[in-house]
Chains A and B, each alone.
Chain A
Amino acid sequence: MSAQGTSSAASAVALAPHRVGAMVLRYLYLLRSSWPRILELIYWPTMQLFVWGFLQLYISQNAGFFARAGGMFIGAVLLWDILFRGQLGFSVSFLEEMWARNLGNLMISPLRPIEFVAALMIMSIVRLAIGMLPVSLLAIAFFGFNIYGLGLALAAFFANLILTSWSVGILVSGVLLRNGMGAESLAWTLMFVLMPLTCVYYPVATLPYWLQLISWSLPPTYVFEGMRALVITHEFRADLMAEAFALNALYFTAAVIAFLALLKSARRQGSLLQSGE
């Protein structure tokens, strides 16, 4: 790579906090201006919680194992929502720019791609907090399940799940940049491919052997297995968390590289000005 090429690549990943802050401010202004947007963040996790919570309650009254493993389903629901809502929080903030036809303004501003991504990551946590904090309190009130009782394990679960959600969000945003709004459905559906494979509600051993191999290549699988180990045997599996972190580091790096490559391809295709279908 030439010296100029190197400096160009370096400037693309240089990060200025004031520009990240400007983008976060832009999304906070948007959230503040629209109560339906805030309500939507809380609505679906709450529905999920009640459906799975009452199901767990019913089963635990009739089966000894589930009575001992109280909170397994509710824990799974809450952790799945961190994964799913984390990605949605990232992707929806990105989609807001495309819906508003504002991407051209941002792309000709000094905002670096990596600053844009950093702002979207911060917003995914903000949106997640708005949705999950009330729902976690409802879980305590209605089902006596205190996710914060997981302590340090919760921090490890959260960090791994949010890293995976960002990797998926970054990849989807790159595809949207390259292909326009025609790829919007990916933002809403891609994560559901992971749902059966990451074994949210059942152990990995339930899957056929060849699917288990795929399942163990996905970081959330380690989190859900770790959660079940904690709830059922009260054992924190640090080894599972370490493996998940290693896989997440790999996928996150790959997602950022793919995003930058798709952005470059969008510049080649001329799709940054026309962000329609």
Chain B
Amino acid sequence: MPAEPAIAVDQLVKVYGATRAVDGISFALAPGSITGLLGGNGAGKTTTIAMILGLVMPTSGSAKVLGAEMPRQRYQVLHRMNFESPYIDMPHRLTVRQNLNVFGKLYAVADLSGRIADIAGQLELSEFLDRPSGKLSAGQKTRVALAKALINQPDVLLLDEPTASLDPDTADWVRERLERFRKQHGATVLLASHNMAEVERLCERVIMMKRGRIEDDDAPVRLLTRYGRQTLEEVFLDVARGRGEAREAAQ
């Protein structure tokens, strides 16, 4: 019998006034999988993630995480989830240690001081622990946000542009840590990104969105073959500019 999906989205719709931000999408993510959510600005990626997190109420359809319907049953699973995004911050005046302490307590993390030392070591934050979060560089702030996202060792991790505004070296470093965390903990990861190289490297499956709908959904290798392209970026441009159907029809 197949395992229950870690995330199951069924006919999910979100309407804001006259805009259908998400328009009837469905997908299911297997436990322990890592999936990329690709799409241009306004494609509906962030709204989809917000509905999975229970931050936004769907207009219709359902989003289930670890069997709990979001947002109605969110308190059954929020302690097993976490999220990182450059669009939300950690309090700037608090030190890194104070921030991790507060969030660790909110998530009821056992042996919190040990866990903070452990994660600070893994993410090379030990020397910044007693520095105010607002006084760190962009790369250091991203690592702190990642430390907060991993503090409870989540079973489901959602990431919205986790490497935005990072230099290539730091971004690569962050990806390596994410990959390591997923392998060690068997977490399910859903990653929204504009960075094709990132998605190609990390994800075993890619869901491509455009105007609130899923335009394609496959493994990166199979997408490259089907579109006859060398890189995922070219596939993305085909989908974004509506050339996907024409290309497939021609083939």
Query: A residues touching B (Cβ–Cβ < 8 Å)?
Result: 4-5, 7-8, 11-12, 14, 16, 18-19, 21-23, 25-26, 29-30, 33-34, 96, 100-112, 264, 267-270, 272-273
Size category, B interface: 35 or more
Binds A, one of B82-90, B184-192, B196-204: B82-90
Whether the pair B72, A4 counts as a contact (CB closer than 8 A) is yes
Whether the pair B103, A29 counts as a contact (CB closer than 8 A) is no
Whether the pair B56, A267 counts as a contact (CB closer than 8 A) is yes
Query: Chain A residues near B55 (CB, 8 Å)?
Result: 104, 107-108, 267, 270, 272-273
Known A8-B72, A100-B89, A110-B78; judge A105-B94 contact (CB<8 A): no
Q: Give the CA-CA distance A14 to B76 in the complex, in Å.
A: 12
Query: Out of A8, A101, A273, which one reaches B56, CB within 8 Å?
Result: A273
Q: Give the CA-CA distance A12 to B73 in the complex, in Å.
A: 10
Query: Out of A18, A22, A104, A111, which one reaches B87, CB within 8 Å?
Result: A104
Whether the pair A102, B75 counts as a contact (CB closer than 8 A) is no
- By secondary structure, the A interface counts as helix
Query: Chain B residues near A268 (CB, 8 Å)?
Result: 56-57
Whether the pair A270, B47 counts as a contact (CB closer than 8 A) is yes
Query: Chain B residues near A19 (CB, 8 Å)?
Result: 105-106, 108
Q: Give the CA-CA distance A8 to B70 in the complex, in Å.
A: 11
The chain B residue sitting closest to A102, CB to CB, is: B91
Among the interface residues A18, A101, A109, which one has the most CB atoms of the partner chain B within 10 A? Answer: A109
Whether the pair A34, B75 counts as a contact (CB closer than 8 A) is no
Query: Chain A residues near B26 (CB, 8 Å)?
Result: none
Q: Which 4 pairs of residues, A with B, have the shortest CB-CB distance?
A: A22-B105, A104-B88, A101-B89, A11-B75
User: A26-B91, A29-B94, A272-B50 provided; 11 other pairs, C-beta below 8 A?
Assistant: A4-B69, A4-B72, A19-B108, A22-B106, A26-B94, A34-B93, A108-B78, A109-B78, A109-B106, A264-B57, A267-B57
The chain B residue sitting closest to A37, CB to CB, is: B93
Q: Give the CA-CA distance A4 to B75 in the complex, in Å.
A: 12
Whether the pair B81, A108 counts as a contact (CB closer than 8 A) is yes
Known A108-B54, A267-B57; judge A33-B108 contact (CB<8 A): no
Query: Chain A residues near B81 (CB, 8 Å)?
Result: 108
Query: Chain A residues near B107 (CB, 8 Å)?
Result: 109-110
Query: Out of B73, B79, B87, B108, which one reaches A273, CB within 8 Å?
Result: B87
A and B contact pairs by CB, cutoff 8 A, 14 listed: A4-B69, A4-B72, A11-B75, A14-B75, A26-B98, A30-B91, A30-B93, A100-B90, A104-B85, A105-B90, A110-B106, A267-B56, A267-B71, A269-B16
Whether the pair B50, A5 counts as a contact (CB closer than 8 A) is no
**B207 within 8 Å of A by Cβ?**
no
Query: Chain A residues near B21 (CB, 8 Å)?
Result: 270
Q: Give the CA-CA distance A102 to B98 in the complex, in Å.
A: 14
Whether the pair A25, B102 counts as a contact (CB closer than 8 A) is yes
Query: Chain A residues near B75 (CB, 8 Å)?
Result: 8, 11-12, 14, 110, 112
Query: Chain A residues near B101 (CB, 8 Å)?
Result: 25
Q: Give the CA-CA distance A102 to B149 in the complex, in Å.
A: 13
**B8 within 8 Å of A by Cβ?**
no
Q: Give the CA-CA distance A270 to B21 in the complex, in Å.
A: 11
Query: Chain B residues near A104 (CB, 8 Å)?
Result: 55, 83, 85, 87-88
Whether the pair A18, B88 counts as a contact (CB closer than 8 A) is no
Whether the pair B78, A273 counts as a contact (CB closer than 8 A) is no
Query: Chain A residues near B105 (CB, 8 Å)?
Result: 18-19, 21-22, 25
The chain B residue sitting closest to A26, CB to CB, is: B102
**B194 within 8 Å of A by Cβ?**
no
**Contact code string B88-132 (vs A, CB < 8 Å = 1, else 0):** 111111110010011101111000000000000000000000001
The chain A residue sitting closest to B92, CB to CB, is: A100
Q: Give the CA-CA distance A30 to B72 in the complex, in Å.
A: 32
